[in-house]
Amino acid sequence: MPVGRLIMNLEDIEKVCMDAPEAMVIASHIDSVNHAVYSSDDVRAFIKQRNLSQVLVPCNGETIEA
């Protein structure tokens, strides 16, 4: 039985934003896995292009507080 991807792709990020428009989406650990398809810069460019203002891509070592 297929279980899907372990890592979300860009379209998955956009779908989460569309399905939960009030949610803050944090895309983390992007550059820390060797099998990642996209870099942090790729994700930042995508969210800017698609105007997904609720997505946050923290810098390495950045702390996020609620």
Model pTM score: 0.81
Please check whether residue 4 lies inside any domain of the structure.
no
Please check whether residue 48 lies inside any domain of the structure.
yes
Q: Per residue in 49-63, pLDDT tens?
A: 999 999 999 998 899
Range of the domain at 42: 10-56
Please check whether residue 65 lies inside any domain of the structure.
no
Please check whether residue 29 lies inside any domain of the structure.
yes
Please check whether residue 42 lies inside any domain of the structure.
yes
Please check whether residue 63 lies inside any domain of the structure.
no
Please check whether residue 22 lies inside any domain of the structure.
yes
Q: Per residue in 1-59, pLDDT tens?
A: 677 777 889 999 999 999 999 999 999 888 777 777 889 999 999 999 999 999 999 99
| Domain count of the fold of the chain | 1
Nearest C-alpha neighbor of 11 from the set 59, 65, 55: 55
